[in-house]
A and B are shown apart, each in its own frame.
Chain A
Amino acid sequence: MGPVDYIPRIRDNYARLGYKAYNWVVNRDTAPWAPLRKPLSQCRLGLAASGGIYVAGQVAFHFKDDTSHREIPTYVDAKVLRATHFAYDLSDARTDPNVVFPIDTLRRLVREGFLGGLADRFYTFMGGIYSSRRVIEDLAPRLTAQFLEDGVDAVLLVPV
C-alpha cells in the first residue's frame, strides 16, 4: 500500500466539522539550496521540531495558531520533556519524546562520531498553524535568525 494521502483526508475531515478549508502551501518553484560545506562528522547540527514539545516548567503551547517557540537546552534530560498538540496521538511522544524530538538519538550519533556536534539549544513549536502568512513572516525568520546565531552547519527539521 502506498503512502497515506493526508491532504484529501484532512480536507474532508475539516469540511465535515464545519471548519474553514485549509489552503495547503503549494510551491512549484525550484526550492532554495545551500550545499553542506563539510562532512556530517564535522558538522554542528541544529534541530527544530513542531510536535509541541516543552520542558516541564516552561509555559506550554496553546492550540490556536500558536507561532511561539521554546528553546530546549541540548543537554536536557528527556524525562522532563512534555508533549502537547491537537493533531496527533500523543501517547508515544509522552512516554518517549524521541519519536518526534530525537534528542537522545542525536546525542548518541555525536558520541559515535557520525555527527561532529550539536547546537547548544534546540527549538520546538506547534505545527498546525492555520496561517501560512504568519509562518512565513514571523516564525520562519525568527527560527532562521536563531540558527544563524547558533552557528550551525545544518539543521534537521522534524514535523509531526
Chain B
Amino acid sequence: MGLVARHAEAAGIPTLCMTSARDITRACNPPRAAFLDFPLGHTTGKAHAPDLQRRILVEALSSFETLTVPGSMKELPFRWSEDEEWKAKAFAEGDDRTPRHDTPQYQNEEDRRRAEQGGVSPCPVCRSRRA
C-alpha cells in the first residue's frame, strides 16, 4: 500500500497509510502513516465497535494536519487487549497459505451465481460470454 501512497503523493495528492505492520510500512516509507497495534485484519478497528472505529479514524486522519515531515508515522493510542498474547501467535503458528488460485474466490456461492449471471450478456451469435 505504501507504493500506492508514494505514487499518489508524487502526483500531488496527500495520502495517509493506516498500518498494523509497522516494520513493513517503515521499510516502504510512505509519506504519512498511522500505526494501530492491532492484529492483522483490523487496520481500522474492532468489529461492531463503531465508537472505537470512529476514535481511531479521528486520531489517524488528524495526522493530515499535524505531520509535517515526509516519512512520519503516528502511533495511535489504542490497545487491542490488556494482555498482548495475540502478538505471540500472529503469523507464528504458520499461516498454511491458502492455495493461490487464479480464479475468483467468492465469499459464498450466492455471490458467484450473481456475478456470473449479472456480468456480461452471452453473445447471441456464439453463445459465449465475452470479457
Which A residues form the contact surface with B (CB < 8 A)?
A: 1, 3-7, 9-10, 13, 16-17, 19, 24-37, 39-40, 43, 45-46, 48, 50-51, 54, 56-66, 82-84, 86-90, 92-96, 98-102, 104-106, 108-109, 114-115, 127, 132, 135-136, 139-141, 143-144, 147-148, 152-160
Contacts and interface: CB of A to CB of B under 8 A. Distances in A.
A143 B107 contact: no
B41 A135 contact: no
Interface in B80-110: 84, 87, 90-92, 94-108, 110
A100 B4 contact: no
B6 A89 contact: no
B41 A159 contact: no
Nearest to A139: B4
A92 B61 contact: no
Contact of A90 (B23, B41, B94): B41
Contacts of B91: 4, 6, 9-10, 13
Interface string B13-35: 11111111111100111110001
- Report which residue of A93, A101, A143, A158 has the largest number of chain B beta carbons within 10 angstroms of its beta carbon: A158
A152 B10 CA distance: 15
Identify the 9 closest CB pairs spanning chains A and B, nearest first: A140-B7, A88-B41, A159-B1, A96-B47, A92-B47, A60-B104, A86-B98, A82-B107, A64-B102
